Amino acid sequence: MGIRIYKPTTPGRRNGSVNDYAELTTAKPEKSLCRRIKKNGGRNHYGITTTRFRGGGTRKIYRIIDFKRDKDGVPAKVATVEYDPNRNCFISLLDYADGEKRYILAPQGVRVGDRMESGPFCEPKVGNAMPLAAIPSGLEIHNIEMTAGQGGKLVRGAGDAARIVAKEGDWVSVVLPSGEMRMVRKECRATIGQLSNADHQNIKLGRAGRKRHIGRRPHVRGKAMNPVAHPMGGGEGRANGGRHPCSPTGVLSKGGKTRNPRKPSNKRIIRRRKNKRQGQLVL
């Protein structure tokens, strides 16, 4: 994996960089695992904008990903490593011995021809999916289930990896990439290894057009609007609105907690995630 930087022939090229996609082996996805998805441009079924600054972008075809990894005891061979426009990590196509094909999230270092398997009795090596009870402590894992059989929900971004730190009774303590430590049931499955495309965070778009290709429209500041469009708009000169920062509907945007205090999984958190801005734990 590498990042390609072009000669600064234009202002956009000067500040932008792209992935060289050296790991990819094909540009054509498996048709049987592709589905067309409809874009909504940040609008609900009434046509009302519920998420601002969304819309446009290139047309995408969704690849069906096997997040459950529940095909136990059947060995599979890695057929391809592919780009997926719907996520920032790469995906791999597995050819199972019984003829079935499935996409999975590609771990770092996976190669065409590698053998993978899932189940409680397979070997704990990169790419294999196992219950947390069968994975040795200290190994890096990803695509972790929160409820057994539900499919992976945690640690699915490019370059991410969690680590098992302790096992006690029916619970396994896992440290997530955010720094949060939480308990997960031992029956929940996870895949061994770190996810691919770790340099994704170092890529710079460089120009506004590439942001539009992703489907992100210009993000306009509230203080740059008219008073009719935003509570912080208007005023002579570069006025700051005379009030605390808020949304177009007047909801305060700084200092408030956004996580639901009655979320059932809150009681399984041992240590809150780290605050990246201050480098401290959020209590």
Q: Is it the case that residue 280 has pLDDT exceeding 60?
A: no
Question: Are 155 and 112 in contact, with CB atoms under 8 Å apart?
Answer: no
Q: Please tell us whether the domain made up of 3-200 is placed in CATH 2.10.109.10.
A: no
Identify which of 159, 163, 192 has the alpha carbon closest to the alpha carbon of residue 176: 163
Identify which of 250, 248, 252, 255 has the alpha carbon closest to the alpha carbon of residue 221: 248
Question: Are 91 and 197 in contact, with CB atoms under 8 Å apart?
Answer: no
Record the pTM: 0.89
3-state SS class at 51: coil
Question: Are 233 and 225 in contact, with CB atoms under 8 Å apart?
Answer: yes
Question: Are 67 and 147 in contact, with CB atoms under 8 Å apart?
Answer: no
Torsion (CA) 111, 114, 119, 123 in degrees, nearest 10: -100
Identify which of 163, 189, 205 has the alpha carbon closest to the alpha carbon of residue 13: 205
Question: In the prediction, which pLDDT does 283 show?
Answer: 41
Q: Where are the domains of the chain?
A: 3-200
Question: Are 93 and 82 in contact, with CB atoms under 8 Å apart?
Answer: yes
Tens of pLDDT, residues 8-37: 999 989 999 999 999 999 999 999 999 999
Question: In the prediction, which pLDDT does 111 show?
Answer: 95
Question: In the prediction, which pLDDT does 282 show?
Answer: 46
